[in-house]
């Protein structure tokens, strides 16, 4: 079976975009794993070293991957804070309306 390798000016760019997408997806997986491990460590602090070792193994010393995963977790944190703030604002409005209705 023959394999055909596309050529042309768009091929290197397409490969670069694909690799960048795969790296972002990998960082998202690492970020999700870190969030999961953080919950476990919160419940069982004695497992912190094991969690760190697991993350280090997953990242295999890739500082860029760790940085992107950290940025993903920070973004999740900002989104969560915004969602909580919006929910609290709506709760305040409901309480004010309930107070007026009484």
In this predicted structure, what is the pLDDT of residue 58?
Answer: 86
Distance CA 2, CA 44 (A): 54
The SS3 assignment for 8 reads coil
Number of Cβ atoms within 10 Å of the Cβ of 73:
18
Does residue 36 sit within a domain?
yes
What is the tens place of the pLDDT at every residue in 45-60?
Answer: 999 999 999 999 988 8
Look at residue 4 and tell me if it is in a domain.
no
Judge whether 71 lies within some domain.
yes
Is residue 47 within 8 A of residue 41, CB to CB? The reply is: yes
Q: Which domain holds residue 50?
A: 12-101
Number of domains in the chain: 1
Whether pTM > 0.85 for this model: the answer is no
Instruction: State how far the alpha carbon of 74 is from the alpha carbons of 25, 35, 38, 82, in Å.
Output: 16, 11, 14, 12
């Amino acid at each position: 079976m023959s394999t055909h390798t596309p050529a042309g000016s768009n091929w290197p760019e397409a490969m670069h975009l694909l690799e960048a997408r795969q790296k972002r997806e990998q960082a998202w997986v690492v970020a999700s794993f870190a969030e999961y491990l953080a919950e476990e460590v919160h419940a069982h602090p004695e497992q912190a070293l094991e969690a760190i070792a697991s993350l280090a193994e997953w990242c295999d010393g890739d500082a860029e991957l760790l940085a992107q995963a950290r940025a993903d977790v920070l973004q999740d944190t900002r989104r969560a804070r915004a969602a909580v703030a919006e929910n609290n604002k709506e709760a305040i409005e409901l309480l004010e309306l309930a107070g007026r209705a009484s």
